[in-house]
Structures are given as structure tokens and as C-alpha cells.
Structure 1
Amino acid sequence: MSEFVRLLFGRRARRRWIHLILGGALAMPYVFVGQLVVGPATDSRYVFHDLPLQLLSFAVGLPLAALTAALFPLTRALEAGAVRSLCGVDAGLLAHGPARTRAAKGRTAAWFTLHLGFGGIISGMSLAVPPFAGFLAALPLLVWLGGAELVELPESLDHAWVLALAPVAGLATLVALAGCAAVSGALLARWAPALLGPTPEDRLAAAEARAADLAVRNRLARELHDSVGHALSAVTLQASAARRVLDTDPEFVREALAAIEDTTRRTVGELDAVLGVLRDGDGPGTAPAPTLRADLGGLLRRTRACGLRVTAAVDADPEALPPVLSREAYRIVQEGLSNVLKHAGGRTNVALRIEIADGHLEITVENPLEHTPACRPGGGHGLRGIADRARLLGGTAQAGAVQGVWRLHVRLPMKGPA
């Protein structure tokens, strides 16, 4: 019994009833337009006082409602918002944007017609049934108080048992009204995902938007990892080395502090460029992304200041490299040197080769195997980021132990899907 009462008068049923009443309110302008058509067509001056003519006006107005929904794409977004709030339908099953395609507009028109149709009927019943039910419930009392003087009764109601059943009939009409509202609301809630849900085009657009967002986030993550991670590794080693010789080699300490200052200044500029993408309504920061052409020498100088003995052999002209390739290659070299800094502690030899072979830019970073840059516990993202950069450029990246050394080897096509 309690379950039956909950289905008819529970919170969800009441909210769906409100949704139907809103549909009836939206239907009223179309009913008035329908009356302007039905009145002259039937030669009737008082359409509003004639129930059959009112129903006919309602039927004439519904096609106009469907046409309105088809002509205004935002109808789908508005109706979907009302369904999410009042009908208890999962938001993931409904479309969020306006209807753009012909199929989406047709389904929105069908939904709008159903909403206004069910809503108009339930709204009319909600206005008419409660007063009638109240009259039936009060009928025995009215007859007892004044008989025919207060209420003009048909002959059939002179019997006491008929009067006794009148309150029951009034209650039954209220229950019937609640049942009609609950069934109508449940049907609309069931049909909403099919009529207001995303179309295949909507799902494809959403998937493309998610993929684009994920690509931007991955790019930002790589940029932050490579620039900030390299800077922190370099600054840590420089500060540690300066602390050890603070009392014995002031000149080295000054060079280390100068290198720290230069590293942090450049990293703050790069960080501003990356974070500018994340600010609403803001474009990329003013600091340009570093490239082999602009900062290879500076990168090597700052790395050597950390204690690494870097031997660089550059057989490619950085000036001739495409900007995107030069930028990504710089990040790959930076991350390769940063890996050695983190895992070798800044006290080892590093061989860097940058050359062009068979239409590819090849980058090789090698250091002794005893300073293997293996991933730290919990995993690292440096080698994964290098592999991602190489894959996006149509190239390859390999890292591992080869003939007594740890080698990072990356091949990037000079012309590819950059």
C-alpha cells in the first residue's frame, strides 16, 4: 500500500506532475491560436465555453507547437534541462546542446508535441477534477443540511446508499487523477532519452571535443614535466654542489648561483607560456617555446653547470629545421639530459649527437650504464613523454642498455604529421 501511495504521490511523481503542468502552460498560447482558427471555421463566437471546441482548438494548436520546436533549435536544450530537473532522467542520457540536424529537430518536435499534449490534458484534469471531487465528498453533508434547497438533486440520488458512495467516488476521482499524472509522467520520462538524447552526430562531436581536450592536456603535461622537471633537477644539483664547496671555492659558488638564476628565470617564462593556455579567455603566454635554433647552446651550458660532462656533436643545422620539429627536438634533448641529471647525480659523461640521416632527424643521448636512468619507484613520465612526442611527429623513440651504455635514440621525420 505504501509503495502504491509513493508511486502516485511521492516526490518523483509530484515533480513529474509539475513538469506536466508546465507543458499545459506552454500549450495555452497554441490553444488560443487554435481558437482563432476553430471559431471562424465553426461559426462559433464562444469557443472557450464549448468543451468539444476547446479540444478541437487544442488539437489544432499541437502541430503549431511541433513547428515551433523544429524552427527553434534551443527548444531541445530547454526541454532537456526541464527533464533532468523534474523527471528524474539521468543527465548522461540527454543532449546538452541545441538540435542541429534534421533528425534531431524532428525528434525534438515529437517530444515537444507529446509534452504539450500530455501536459494540456493533465493540466485540464488538474483544474476540473479536484473541485468535482470536493463536491462529491461534501454532497451528503449538503443534502443533510438543506436538501433540495441547497442542492438540486436528480431523483436517483434520493437513496441514502447513493449519497454514502459519493465521498468514495470523489476520492476515487482524485486517485484516478494522480494515476493519470503518474502514468503520463512515467511515459514521458521513458521516451525522453530516445527523443531528447544525443544523436550519433552529437556523440561524435562530443568524442572529438574530449579527444581535443585530452590532447591539449597531454601536451600541457609534457611541457610542464619537461621544462619544470629539468629546471628542478638542474637547480637541485647546482645548489647541492654550491653548498659542498661554499667555504673552499667561492668562484664556483658564484657560477652555480648565476646558473640557478638563469635556469629559474627561463623556467618561469616557459611556465607562463604553458599556463596561459589554461586561463579562461587567455591565449598562450608571451614567452616563446624554446627550440634547438634558439637555445641549444644555452641548454648545454646550463647542463654542464650542473656537473655533467656533456660532449655534443651537432651535424644538423638548427636554422634549417621546421619550427615544430625544432621545438619538439629541443624538449627531447632537454628531457634526455634531465634523465641523466636525475639518475646520475651530475657526475658522469654524456654524449649527445644530433644529425640528419635518411630524411630523419636523429637524436642520441648516451651515458655509462652504471648511471642507468631507470624509472624511479612509482613510475616516471620522462621517457613516456619522449615517446609521445616522437609518435606525434611520426617518429620513433627507443631507450635501454646497449653495449655498456644507457642509450636514448629518437628518429623524427623531417616531413611528417607534425
Structure 2
Amino acid sequence: MRLLYGHRARLRWVHLILGGALLMPFFLVASVFVPTFTGGGSVFESLPAQIAAFGCALPLAAAAALLPLARPLSVIGARSLGGVDPALLADAPARSWAARVRTSVWFVLHVGLGGLVGICALALPRLALVLIVVRTPARLRGSRPPLPRAFHGWRVLLAPPAGITLLLALSAGAAVAGALLARTAPALLGPTPADRLAAVEARAADLAARSRLARELHDSIGHTLSAVTLQAGAAARILDSDREFVRGALTSIEEATRRTVGELDSVLGLLRQDGEQPGSSTGPTLDALGGLLAHSGAPVAYTVSGVPGRAPDPVSRAAYRIVQEGLSNALRHGGTEPVRLHIAWEDTALTITMLNSLVDGADGADRAKTGEPARPLRGAGAGGGRGLRGIGERAALLDGRAHAGPDDGRWRLTVRLPLPGGAR
């Protein structure tokens, strides 16, 4: 009984009735043209004409279901009333012809079965009621209802069981039709290979955007925290002996944190935006390099060769972040030892070179002892922490190269970023 009259069965019955209702406009259109070919009157006066109109309505419904929006509308009904797992259905409009044809087949199946169930639901209960009440005493049933010809004579005893059987058959037919729609929905309304590919590409773009924003946060906040920690520690050690140095350190901490809060607001603004393009970005460029070096927390010997120009914004932003991460590494592993930064402007590329000492050996002291040469940074496959991986990823995204490793007892970071078109 639960299969025939349970909650899911009732919802599927409603789904089928709605399918029959959706078929009615197409049936009425077909009923206008069918008499033209049959030579008769109204289709409602002839059962064969009605069957012909029903058959002609199905192709019209199939043509209408080729519209892209037919799939999401069908999915809503299949999910909410048909009891189909939402993960197996595609919510997006059908763009390819393969998806449209599959949707059209399902829609025809829906309205066709719904029309048949609707017709039976209108006709069979009345006949079943006649068969059931025929043996009821006259004082309870009123006038005697007319019986079908097959139930005259002794066969009248079979009328009530036959009526109950008709009702059960109607319920069973509706349950089978609903189960058939639910079983075919994932195959006909589910994502096509093109839909799955588009979903994978969208997911990859989203992950790329999140990874880029994560690098922005790591580079900005990580550098500031390293500089603030170093300056606060130095100020604490000489608090009583050099008040001017402490005052300068606190000023640098204030400026660095204020600048970082602005960058954090910018990055979080991107996270709140809808429809962000994967390649879009924001943040400081090489124009802000002077402020970064002035409040880096470590002495920096900065030199430039070539004729400085204006690099494209993606290259300029990447160069700023690379210098920022290089300074963070120097603060973490080189203490307050001087850092040498050299930027070489060429016609086709921008080269960044940073040299710093290794005090704690956390990122390559063992390799420095063995004289291991610098190695390329290739994103996630490179060792040495998230910072070096981020530098490698930034360079790779711009078709550049990044190398890091020991060089004569010091740590050298070299990054070469192409300048598109040779323009600066």
C-alpha cells in the first residue's frame, strides 16, 4: 500500500497530473487541425479523432521542449515531485543539441504518461464506483446505476471486486509511470559530457582564483607579520637605551599594519564579488616598492640596472609580491642581516635578484654546506615552504622562471618575468 499510496507515490501522481495539464495546450492546437484531415466535426465527438489529436500533440510538445529553458523547468518537477536525487540532474539550461533532444524525449514521456494517467483518473473512478455500489441495498444507494453489459445476470456478483481491481490498477499504473519517469530522469535530464566539462572548467577557474587570493593574503600578511615581529622584538630589547629607535620602530609597525589592512580589504573585496574573472587581480605594483623597502624591517641595499619603465600591471603586481615574499624569507631566516635587491630592466624581461644570509638554516642551510646549486621553483612541487612555492607559481603564470638556492654561503633568489611584446 505504501508503494501505491505512500508520500512519494502521491507526489509522483501529482507530477503525472501536471504532465497531463502541460499536454492540454498542445492537444487543443492539434484538435484544430485534425478535423481538417479526418473530414469530421469536433474531435470531442469522436474517440478516433481524440486519439489522433493526442498523437499529434506529442510532436508539438517535443518541439517546444527543444528550448534551452525546458531542462531546468523539467528538473524542478523531477526533483521536487519525482523524488530524483538532485545530484544526478543538471540545473543549467540545455545548450547543446544532444542535451536538448534528451530533454525533449523526457518531456514527451512526461506529458504522454501524464495525459494517459489523467484520462484514466477521470474515467475509471466513476466506472469503479458504479461497479462497487451495484450490490448495495437500494435504500443506501438510491436509484440503480446502469451496469456495463458484461455484468448482467449472475456476473453481477463480480462487479464490486472488479471495481476495486480497477482502482488498484489505476494506482498501480500511476506508480509504475511515476517510477519510470524517476528512473529515466538522470539519463535524460542529467548532465551531458559537455556539461560535465564545463562544470570542471568552472571548478578549476574557481580554485585558481582562490589560490591566487590565498597567495595575495599570504604574501601581504605574512610579510607584515614578519616585519612587525622583528621590529617589535628589536624595540623591546633596546627600550631603555634608545628611545628614538623604539619610536621609529613603532612608527614603522603602525604604517606597515595600516598598509596591510588596506591590502586585506582589497583582497576580501574580491572574495565578495560575484562573477569574478579568474585572471582579475588587484594589489600594489612596483610603484609602491619604495614604501615596502622603507618599512621592511631589515636593511635593504636596492640597486637598479637598465632604464626603468612601466611594466604591465600583472607583471608589476607579481614583481612586487615576489620582492615582498623574498624580504619575508630574509626576515625569517636571515634576521637583521642586510638584504641585497637588484632589479634589471631589459627590453624583453624584468629580472629580480635577492641575496641574503642564512642565520637559522631553516630553508637551505644544509644545502649551502654541500654547495648545492640553485634550483628552479616549480609551484607546488618545490620545497621550502609556501612562500617559495608561491613565487614559483607567480612566475609560471607569466611564463617566467624562478630559481632559489645557496650561492657562496648566501641564499639567492632569481626571478625572470617576461615583458609582453618587449614593451616597458
Residue aligning to 2:344:
355
% identical equivalent positions: 54
Note the C-alpha offset of 1:401: 4.1
Q: Could you tell me how far 1:98 is from its partner in structure 2?
A: 1.8
The one-letter amino acid of 1:366's match is: L
Per-residue CA distance 1:375-404 (angstroms, 9 max, x = gap): 9xxx95222211110111112333344543
User: Retained in 2: the 8 A contact 1:314–1:354?
Assistant: yes
Q: Which runs of 5+ in 1 are unaligned?
A: none
Give the partner amino acid of 1:396.
R
Q: Does 1:368 align with 2:357?
A: yes
SS at match of 1:27: helix
Please list the CA deviations of residues 227-251 of structure 1 after superposition, one character each: whole Å capped at 9, or x if unmatched: 1221222223223333333333221
Gap change, CA 1:146 and 1:190, over 3 Å in 2:
closer
8 Å contact kept, 2:306–2:346: no
Normalization by structure 1: what TM-score? 0.84
Instruction: Give matches, 1:271-310, under 5 Å.
Output: 271-280=264-273, 289-292=283-286, 294-303=287-296, 306=297, 308-310=298-300
Q: For 2:94, what is the secondary structure of its paired residue? A: coil
Q: Establish whether residue 111 from structure 1 lines up as the match of residue 106 from structure 2.
A: yes
What is the identity, as a one-letter code, of the residue corresponding to 1:205? A
Q: Aligned pair 1:340/2:334, yes or no?
A: no
- CA offset digits 1:49-75 (Å, max 9, x no partner): 5433322221122221122222x3211
**Match in the other structure for 1:404:** 409
What residue identity is the alignment partner of 1:8? L
1:259-305 deviations in Å (ceiling 9; x for gaps):
12221222222223222222346989xx963222x1222222111xx
Contact kept? 2:130, 2:145, Cα under 8 Å: no
C-alpha separation in 1, matches of 2:402 and 2:234: 32
2-structure distance, mates of 1:25, 1:121: 11
1:10 aligns with 2:10: no
Q: Which residue of 1 aligns with 2:370?
A: none
Q: How does 1:79-94 map to 2 (within 5 A)?
A: 79-94=74-89
Matched residues, number: 400
Letter in 1 for 2:114: G
Structure 2: give runs of 5+ residues left out of the alignment: 365-383
Residues 282 and 24 (structure 1), Cα distance of their counterparts in 2 relative to 1, 3 Å cut: closer
Q: 1:125 to 1:309 in 2, by over 3 A?
A: same
Match of 2:23 among 22, 27, 52: 27
1:121 and 2:116 matched: yes
- Does residue 393 of structure 1 match 2:382? no
- After superposition, the Cα gap between the structure-2 partners of 1:246 and 1:135, relative to the gap in structure 1 and judged at 3 Å, is farther
The alpha-carbon deviation at position 347 of structure 1 amounts to: 2.7
- The alpha-carbon deviation at position 121 of structure 1 amounts to 0.5
Q: TM-score, normalised by structure 2?
A: 0.83
Alpha carbons of structure 1 residues 282 and 13: separation in structure 2 relative to 1, 3 Å: closer
Separation (CA, whole Å) in 2 of partners of 1:359 and 1:150: 101
Give deviations 1:93-130, integer Å, cap 9, x for gaps. Answer: 32222222333332222222221111101111122222
Distance in 2, matches of 1:145 and 1:335, equals: 93
1:188-245, CA deviations, whole angstroms, 9 ceiling, x for partnerless residues? Answer: 2222233222333333333332222222222111111111221222223223333333
Report the counterpart of residue 328 of structure 1 in structure 2.
318
Aligned to 2:223: 230
Q: Name the amino acid aligned to 2:89.
A: L
Contact 2:124 2:166 survives alignment (8 Å): yes
Shift of 1:359: 5.1
* 3-state SS in 2 of match to 1:140: coil
Give the drift of 1:360: 4.3
1:407 alignment partner, SS class: strand
User: How much does 1:27 deviate?
Assistant: 0.7
Q: Do the aligned partners of residues 100 and 36 (structure 1) sit closer, same or farther apart at CA in structure 2, a change above 3 Å counting? A: same
For residues 284 and 306 of structure 2, what CA distance do their matches in structure 1 show?
17
Shift of 1:338: 0.9
Q: What is the alpha-carbon root mean square deviation over aligned residues?
A: 3.1
- Give yes or no for the alignment of 1:97 onto 2:102: no
User: What amino acid maps onto 1:351 in structure 2?
Assistant: R
- Write the distance in 1 (CA, Å) between the matches of 2:307 and 2:193: 49
Aligned to 2:374: none
Relative to structure 1, the CA distance from residue 184 to residue 206 in structure 2 (aligned partners, 3 Å threshold; closer, same or farther) is same
**Are the equivalent residues in 2 in contact too, given 1:340–1:371 (CA < 8 A)?**
no
Distance 1:173 1:156 in 2: 14
Letter in 1 for 2:86: A
